[in-house]
């Protein structure tokens, strides 16, 4: 009876519990549920302003553990219970388990001690969700005539560098040979097989994204924050599509300058707005560094839409020139806290181009909650643009 239980007990024979943890399985299910719940709030997640901490590849979302609800009595201010130890009637002491009553009505796990979970979501995952959520067919990478070469494995040879020795293959040869009468039962040079590499050419798929930001005096800090969040998610979206994504950051007031990514988001300026300078600078950089045949070029322009009246004609021309160099131009009008609808100078400019059938689109950001809709608009517009092309 006290022998280690034999075959008839399903629990002892196999020791399955050393291989499998039900607790971990159900925990993973809980985790998946939390992720689903978070995912349902994707627009808010994307809108959360503080995500773009530079090179961070994850987004941290604080969540509480899910509670499996049961009927419970209402919390009462006073509880009676029984304790044990050296205490006389009338003694008063502090309750070590006491925590201030939770404000509001949210059911907190007051009995088990609240555990906050920092859910770490990969930016890639969120982008993937975004993609699914928007039901976008993937953008078709447009391949230019240029090619890149890469080395791939192809075939085996009896000679080669030691590092390319394919042991498995060599061993097979040995086994084959052993079958023959009078064979030597150890490895010989005849058995060795080395992997060969071949050069393969493939069309290059590259993209360059220009982020053009208006930093004139009329752009508030919050406007820039909005633009920045939007730019962040746009880069993420495009990175899914292109193995090699180059980003260029340009800011302009009445002049235009190129910045590095980290500098770019710190920039602030004063003075007026001359959009044509910004467009001109971008055109210049494209011509200089990104030959149109090799790159898919995207331009995103964020501005509050005020452009100097004297610049209208020049800006129209510059934008026209830019359009011919790019796959897509997007314009985001940032107007934190206001509800305008693209009735600004720059807004009109882009509407004109869109009406004329150009690969451009525009939309308005008045708050973080609009970023979601903006992404949707732009990716759909790009898709159309790609199909037209």
Partner 1 sequence: MSGEWRTLVPRIEQLARSLGLDFHPVEFEAVPDSFMMEIAVYGLPVRMPHWSFGVRYIYQLIQRHMGHSRLFEVVFPGNPGHAYLSAGNGLAENALVCAHVLGHADFSRKNLLFQRCQGQVSERIVEHAAQHARQIQQAIETHGLERVEAALDAALALEQHIDVDQPLRRPAYPQYLEPGKALADDAFRRRFAALEPAGPAVGVTAPQRAPLPPHPERDLLWFVAQYAPEMENWERDIFLAVREESFYFHPVFATQIMNEGWASYWHARLLREADFIPQQAYLDAIRCHSEVVRPVAADAQVALSVNPYHLGFSLWEHIVAQRGLEAAFAIRTEDDDFAFIRNHLTRDLAEELGLFRYRARDGKVTVLEADLDALHEAILAPKYNFGAPAVWVRRVCADGTLELGHDHRLDGRGLDLQRSRKVLEYLQRLWRRPVRLVTVDEDGADLELSVS
What is d(CA 213, CA 229) in angstroms, rounded to the nearest whole number? Answer: 12
At residue 316, φ and ψ (nearest 5 deg) are -60, -45
What is d(CA 169, CA 189) in angstroms, rounded to the nearest whole number? Answer: 13
With respect to partner 1, which residue has the nearer C-beta, 21 or 268? 21
Total number of residues that touch partner 1 (CB under 8 A) = 63
**68, 162, 167, 201: which one binds partner 1 (CB under 8 A):** 68
Nearest approach, Cβ of residue 39 and partner 1 (Å): 15
Token pair listed for 303: 């501005």
Helix axes 345-355, 275-289, angle to 10 degrees: 50
**14, 37, 56, 66: which one binds partner 1 (CB under 8 A):** 66
212: exposed, middle or buried (Cβ count in 10 Å: 0-12, 13-18, 19+): buried
What is d(CA 46, CA 37) in angstroms, rounded to the nearest whole number? Answer: 14
Nearest approach, Cβ of residue 131 and partner 1 (Å): 23
- Collapse the DSSP code of 252 into the 3-class scheme (helix H, G, I; strand E, B; otherwise coil) and give the result: strand
| Residue 187 in contact with partner 1, rule: CB under 8 A | no
**14, 37, 56, 87: which one binds partner 1 (CB under 8 A):** 87
Longest dimension (CA), the chain: 100
**7, 50, 62, 71: which one binds partner 1 (CB under 8 A):** 71
| Residue 151 in contact with partner 1, rule: CB under 8 A | no
| Residue 55 in contact with partner 1, rule: CB under 8 A | no
Residues 20-39 that bind partner 1 (CB under 8 A): 21-31, 33
Q: Cα 253 from chain centroid?
A: 30
Region near partner 1 per CB under 8 A, out of 88-96, 233-241, 271-279, 374-382? 88-96
The secondary element (H helix, E strand) that includes residue 63 is strand 58-64
Residues 89-128 that bind partner 1 (CB under 8 A): 89-98, 100, 105-107, 112-113, 115
Per DSSP, 143 falls in state P
**7, 50, 69, 266: which one binds partner 1 (CB under 8 A):** 69
Which chain residues interact with partner 1 by CB under 8 A? 1-2, 4-5, 9-12, 17-18, 21-31, 33, 65-98, 100, 105-107, 112-113, 115
């Amino acid at each position: 009876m006290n022998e280690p239980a034999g075959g008839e007990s399903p629990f002892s024979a196999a020791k399955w519990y050393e291989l499998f943890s039900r607790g971990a399985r159900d925990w993973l299910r809980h985790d998946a549920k939390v992720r689903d719940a978070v995912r349902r709030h994707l627009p808010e997640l994307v809108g959360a302003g503080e995500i773009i901490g530079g090179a961070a590849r994850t987004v941290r979302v604080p969540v509480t553990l899910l509670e499996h609800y049961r009927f419970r009595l209402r919390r009462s201010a006073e509880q009676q219970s029984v304790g044990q130890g050296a205490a006389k009637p009338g003694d008063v002491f502090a309750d070590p388990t006491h925590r201030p009553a939770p404000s509001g009505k949210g059911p907190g796990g007051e009995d088990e001690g609240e555990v906050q979970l920092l859910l770490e979501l990969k930016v890639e995952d969120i982008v993937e969700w975004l993609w699914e959520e928007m039901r976008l067919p993937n953008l078709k990478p447009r391949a230019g005539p240029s090619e890149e070469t890469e080395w791939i494995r192809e075939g085996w040879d009896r000679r080669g560098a030691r590092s390319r020795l394919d042991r498995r293959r060599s061993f097979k040869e040995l086994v084959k040979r052993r079958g023959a009468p009078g064979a030597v039962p150890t490895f010989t040079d005849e058995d060795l097989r080395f992997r060969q590499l071949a050069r393969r050419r493939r069309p290059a798929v590259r993209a360059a994204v220009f982020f053009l930001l208006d930093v004139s005096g009329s752009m508030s800090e919050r406007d820039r924050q909005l633009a920045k969040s939007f730019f962040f998610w746009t880069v993420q979206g495009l990175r899914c599509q292109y193995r090699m994504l180059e980003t260029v950051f340009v800011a302009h007031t009445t002049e235009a300058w190129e910045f590095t990514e980290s500098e770019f988001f710190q920039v602030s300026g004063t003075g007026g707005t001359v959009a044509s300078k910004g467009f001109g600078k971008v055109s210049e950089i494209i011509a200089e560094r990104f030959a149109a045949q090799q790159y898919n070029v995207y331009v995103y322009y964020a501005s509050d839409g005020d452009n100097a009246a004297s610049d209208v004609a020049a800006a129209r021309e510059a934008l026209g020139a830019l359009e011919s160099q790019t796959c897509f131009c997007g314009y985001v009008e940032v107007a934190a806290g206001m509800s305008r609808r693209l009735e600004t100078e720059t807004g009109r400019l882009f509407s004109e181009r869109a009406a004329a059938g150009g690969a451009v689109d525009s939309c308005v950001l008045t708050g973080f909650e609009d970023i979601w809709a903006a992404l949707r608009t732009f990716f759909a517009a790009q898709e159309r643009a790609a199909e037209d092309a």
